[in-house]
C-alpha cells in the first residue's frame, strides 16, 4: 500500500468502492482521482472492482455466470469490502462491550440500593451516607457508559472521567488491601469500571480519513431524522 496524491491506498480504495456503489466517497473526488493518476496498483484494483460490480449487476439478466475465479482474483488484491467489515466489527465490539460494562455497573449500583454488602457497610455514623454516595456514583458511571456506547461524541468525556477515577481508585485499593480494610467482593466490583475505561479508550481512537459514518450512532440518527422532516 502506498501514499499518492495525499491519500493512502486503503482510503482511496474504500472511496472508490463507495463510488462504484453510488455512495458518498468520504474524501474529495479530486484527491481520489489524483491518487489514481499516480498509483498503478489502485488503477488496476479499480478496474477489477468495476468489472466485478458490472458482472454482479447483470446476474439476474444473464443467468448467473460463474464468477468464482474473478472474485478469488479480486480477493488477492484486497477486497473492497474488507476494510468496511473490519471497521464495523470494531465499532460493534466497542458498542457491545461498553453497553455490557455499563449495564454491569448499573446492576452493582442497584444491588447496593437493595442492601447487598460489597464490603462497605460499617458502624460509623457516616457509613450509610458513604454507601449512598458511592451507589449514586456507580449508577451515574453505568448510565454514562451505556450512553457513550451509542453516542460516540460522549466517549472522550467518559474517557477523561474514567481515567482520573481509575488512577485514584487503584491507589486507594492498593492501600486498603495492604491494610486489610477492603473485601474481595468490593475489589471485584470495580472490574466494570476498568473494562469501561478500556472500551472508552479504544472507541476514542479517531477513525481513518474517509471512514463512512456510523449508522447506529445517535448523531447519525438525528441527522437522518432531520433530513426526513419536511421543510417548514
CA–CA gap between residue 178 and residue 211 (Å, rounded):
48
Q: Measuring CA to CA, which residue among 143, 115, 141 is closest to residue 127?
A: 115
Angstrom CA distances, 134 to 125, 128, 141, 221, stand at 16, 10, 10, 34
Q: What are the tens digits of pLDDT across the range 44-62?
A: 888 888 887 777 766 555 5
CA dihedral 192, 208, 88, 12 (to 10 degrees): -170
Mean pLDDT, residues 125-136 = 72
Query: What CA–CA distance (Å, rounded) separates 100 from 60?
Result: 43
Alpha carbon distance 202, 5 (integer Å): 30
Question: For the segment 165-207, what is each residue's pLDDT rounded down to a tens digit?
Answer: 999 999 989 998 898 878 888 888 889 999 999 999 988 887 6
Q: What is the pLDDT of residue 195?
A: 93
Structure pTM?
0.51
- Mean of pLDDT over the chain: 76
Amino acid at each position: 500500500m502506498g501514499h499518492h496524491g495525499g491519500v493512502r491506498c486503503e482510503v482511496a480504495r474504500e472511496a472508490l468502492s463507495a463510488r462504484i456503489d453510488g455512495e458518498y466517497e468520504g474524501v474529495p473526488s479530486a484527491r481520489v482521482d489524483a491518487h489514481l493518476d499516480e498509483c498503478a496498483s489502485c488503477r488496476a484494483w479499480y478496474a477489477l472492482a468495476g468489472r466485478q460490480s458490472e458482472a454482479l449487476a447483470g446476474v439476474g439478466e444473464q443467468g448467473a455466470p460463474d464468477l468464482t475465479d474473478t472474485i478469488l482474483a479480486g480477493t488477492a488484491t484486497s477486497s473492497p469490502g474488507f476494510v468496511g467489515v473490519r471497521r464495523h466489527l470494531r465499532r460493534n465490539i466497542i458498542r457491545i462491550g461498553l453497553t455490557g460494562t455499563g449495564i454491569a455497573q448499573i446492576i452493582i449500583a442497584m444491588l447496593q440500593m437493595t442492601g447487598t454488602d460489597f464490603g462497605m457497610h460499617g458502624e460509623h455514623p457516616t457509613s450509610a451516607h458513604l454507601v449512598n454516595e458511592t451507589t449514586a456514583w456507580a449508577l451515574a458511571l453505568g448510565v454514562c457508559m451505556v450512553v457513550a456506547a451509542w453516542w460516540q461524541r460522549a466517549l472522550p468525556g467518559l474517557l477523561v472521567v474514567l481515567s482520573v477515577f481509575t488512577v485514584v481508585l487503584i491507589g486507594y485499593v492498593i492501600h486498603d488491601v495492604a491494610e486489610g480494610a477492603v473485601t474481595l467482593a468490593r475489589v471485584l466490583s470495580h472490574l466494570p469500571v476498568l473494562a469501561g475505561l478500556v472500551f472508552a479508550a479504544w472507541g476514542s481512537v479517531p477513525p481513518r480519513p474517509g471512514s463512512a459514518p456510523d449508522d447506529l450512532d445517535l448523531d447519525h440518527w438525528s441527522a437522518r431524522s432531520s433530513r426526513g422532516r419536511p421543510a417548514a
